[in-house]
Amino acid sequence: MTMADSATLPDTEAPVRVEFRTVLLSIVGLWACYFVLVSLRASLGLELQYELLWRRAVVTLAGIGITLVFWMVLRLFDRRALMVQIIAALLLAIPASIMIATVNQQVFASVQDDVEAAMAEKRGFQVRKDGKGNKIIEARPVASPDVDGPLGPDATVRGRIVVPADLGEEERWQGVLEIALGRYFLLFAWGSLYFALVAIERARLAERREARFRSAAKAAELRSLRYQVNPHFLFNALNSLSSLVMTGKAEQAEEMIQELSNFYRHSLADEATVDVELGEEFALQQHYLAVEQVRFPSRLKVAIDLPPALEQVRVPGMILQPLVENSVKYAVAPVNRPVTITLSARAEYGRLVLTVSDDGPGAPKGGTSGFGIGLANVRDRIQARFGSDAIIESGPVPGGYRTELRLPVVTHA
């Protein structure tokens, strides 16, 4: 793995964070639902809708702010176990809900008496306060059970309830606790949602980390398979060069050195795991075959069939090299007659079909290790690069041997 590969792998200890935008939208959505639902419920029976509406908006804004503070404390538990997160949400929702209930009570305090009076009026009561702050609840006139007929001024029964001021204060705090209880479950539900988002983000991070490790492993595999090609070819080329020198063929040796230089300058230009254009791949194989034609000037013939429309399609670099090398080694070298090696490409049913064929004696009898290694290298590389989308077929055909690759069409780097 290169330094660049390792730099792309995320730190396994990096904290998992839910984006602030997501958190803010969820909080605003929660309190917007609260505002709408409570307003709809209140519109069915309560008076003073305008007075209640703007106060409810103030409580909603306060709820958003307090929930943000609630989140800022909750996020300290992002990396804790699930049970710890649940306990944290249960406990931290208590002070937050009390704060919201207190704000609610204070905002609605100035209109509370008017709302109670309006509600009592609908139910046949009158509510007022005396000079000492005691709350007085009086019943409206009702018909006497002993009198039949229309109501008269004397046919009434009146009732009165006096709520002392100190009991009113107790009632106020009881109201705060009742409101806090409702807001508590609201906040706990949001806290549970937040930790669910944290779990989702943690799962996504794990998936990205796994994907990057798989990518790094695949790159290492492709690099290893690609580097298997060069030493094998170099070994054969140096043997051929040695033979030319020993037989006094200096001009051919110089030509081979030049072609060998061109081949390696071309093959080493790209990173081992990067795809190359098909035109470059064919050009590279032509350099290789030019080297071999120095060895076999009268026996090795080359035919290239590359449609211009496919020149920029991308393939794994040097993917044809082991196949071409097999043709030279097992079709050209063993015979004394001319042998043509053909490299061709075509598009077929949306796939790229690459063919390396020769009209030599076919596959070596018994299947030598070198022949099998070359095919295995190509098979492993295309499977590592394309998975099950790539197919290789190799075998004897009438008049020679042919290997065919069927690959996805890749048109970008």
Distance CA 125, CA 231 (A): 102
User: Do both 190 and 283 map to the same domain?
Assistant: no
User: Do both 173 and 288 map to the same domain?
Assistant: no
Domain membership of residue 134 (yes or no) is: no
User: Do both 263 and 331 map to the same domain?
Assistant: yes
184 contacts 93 by C-beta, under 8 angstroms = yes
User: Do both 34 and 180 map to the same domain?
Assistant: yes
Is the pTM higher than 0.85?
no
User: Do both 186 and 266 map to the same domain?
Assistant: no
Domain membership of residue 225 (yes or no) is: no
- Going by C-alpha positions, the residue among 355, 352, 353 that lies closest to residue 344 is 355
User: Do both 69 and 198 map to the same domain?
Assistant: yes
Q: What is the extent of the structural domain holding 182?
A: 3-121+166-210
Domain membership of residue 243 (yes or no) is: no
Domain membership of residue 127 (yes or no) is: no
User: Do both 206 and 254 map to the same domain?
Assistant: no
Domain membership of residue 387 (yes or no) is: yes
Residue 100: both structure tokens together: 């919201």
69 contacts 96 by C-beta, under 8 angstroms = yes
Instruction: Give residue 322's pLDDT.
Output: 85
User: Do both 112 and 253 map to the same domain?
Assistant: no
Q: What's the first-to-final CA gap in the chain, in angstroms?
A: 20
DSSP character at residue 156: B
Q: Profile the chain (413 residues) by mean pLDDT over runs of 10 residues.
A: 39 69 94 90 66 88 95 92 92 94 86 58 58 59 50 49 54 80 93 92 85 68 58 72 83 82 68 78 88 85 96 90 88 92 95 95 62 79 86 92 95 75
Instruction: Tell me the DSSP string of 202-270.
Output: HHHHHHHHHHHHHHHHHHHHHHHHHHHHHHHHHHHHHHHHHHHHHTT-HHHHHHHHHHHHHHHHHHTSS
User: Do both 194 and 316 map to the same domain?
Assistant: no
Domain membership of residue 282 (yes or no) is: yes
Domain membership of residue 221 (yes or no) is: no
Instruction: Give residue 12's pLDDT.
Output: 43
- Whichever domain contains 352, its CATH number is 3.30.565.10
User: Do both 195 and 256 map to the same domain?
Assistant: no
User: Do both 114 and 67 map to the same domain?
Assistant: yes
Instruction: Give residue 255's pLDDT.
Output: 81
Domain membership of residue 50 (yes or no) is: yes
How many domains, the chain?
2
